[in-house]
Amino acid sequence: MKHLSAIVFSIAIVASSIILGQAFLNRNKTPGTISVTGLGQTDFISDLIVWEARFSRVNRDLKQAYADLDKDKNAIRAYLQSKGLADNVIVFNAVSTQRNMKQNYTSSGQYIGEEFTGYTLSQMVQIDSKEVEKVEKISREVTELLNQGIQLYSLSPRYYYTKLDDLKIEMISQATENARLRAERIAKNSGAALKELSSARMGIFQITGQNSNEDYSWGGAYNTSSKDKTASITMKLTYHSK
């Protein structure tokens, strides 16, 4: 009877050792993961243009300088309206006034003081419009105002897209699907199987000019100089695998 009890006791010890050993192995085994980065990218055309131009007048008489500048302002407004622009998209900013001084020196180079030479008054006109092609054309032809004696300096137009939020959502979906397909291919090629999604992290949203060599920025590039643009975004997904 004692001999039988000893055998049973020995078997129990061996079984317990196996169970404890397996439990130890399972506790220290790290679950497999597959991490992938998907890309969402699309080309689009800007639907909003912002164009600015500056004009100025110089005169020793401040009152006359204001009168001349106001005359130019009215001529510019009439010109833009004649080109088909609505008055509500034509915005004139506040007048900037600068007092001009000239430094005088003797023939030997000794400084002898300043001399007042007049006032420079300048003003900006800004156009925000969805009529992109029309404003582009006006920005190129605005030198016609020189024939009226108006010194207007045109700046390069800036281009924007008003449906950017909708575009971003669409691209996140595209990047997520792209990452999912990559993960499935990796799992298949490695003989594993995807389980539940562990984490998802969105990358930086970038907008560059189409077919340009612009560098991507860690903070996110946002091109405003090109009408035709390319937007891109990345999604990093991590899946459990078995």
**Taking the domains of the chain in order of start, what are their residue ranges?**
30-45+163-241, 48-160
Are 119 and 98 spatial neighbours (Cβ–Cβ below 8 Å)?
yes
Name which of 91-95, 132-136, 202-206, 214-218 the model is least confident about. 214-218
**Distance (Å, rounded) from C-alpha 16 to C-alpha 21?**
8
CA-nearest of 127, 180, 130, 123 to 153 is: 123
The yes or no reply on domain 48-160 and CATH 3.40.50.720 is no
The helix (H) or strand (E) run that includes residue 75 is helix 62-82
Query: What is the band of 190 on the pLDDT scale with cuts at 50, 70, 90?
Result: confident
What is the DSSP annotation of 80-148? HHHTT--GGGEEE-PPEEEEEEEEEE-TTS-EEEEEEEEEEEEEEEEEEES-HHHHHHHHHHGGGGGGG
Render pLDDT for 227-241 as a digit per residue (tens, 0 to 9): 999 999 999 999 998
**What local confidence, expressed as pLDDT, does residue 9 receive?**
38
- CATH of 30-45+163-241, picked from 3.40.640.10, 3.40.50.740, 3.30.530.20, 3.30.110.170, is 3.30.110.170
Predicted pLDDT of residue 19: 39
Q: Name the pLDDT band for 146 (thresholds 50, 70, 90).
A: confident
The pLDDT tens digits of the residues spanning 26-70 come to 444 446 899 999 999 999 999 999 999 999 999 999 999 999 999
CATH topology agreement for domains 30-45+163-241 and 48-160: no
pLDDT at 31: 62
Percent of the chain with pLDDT over 70: 87
pLDDT digits (tens, 9 = 90+) for 86-105: 999 999 999 999 999 999 99
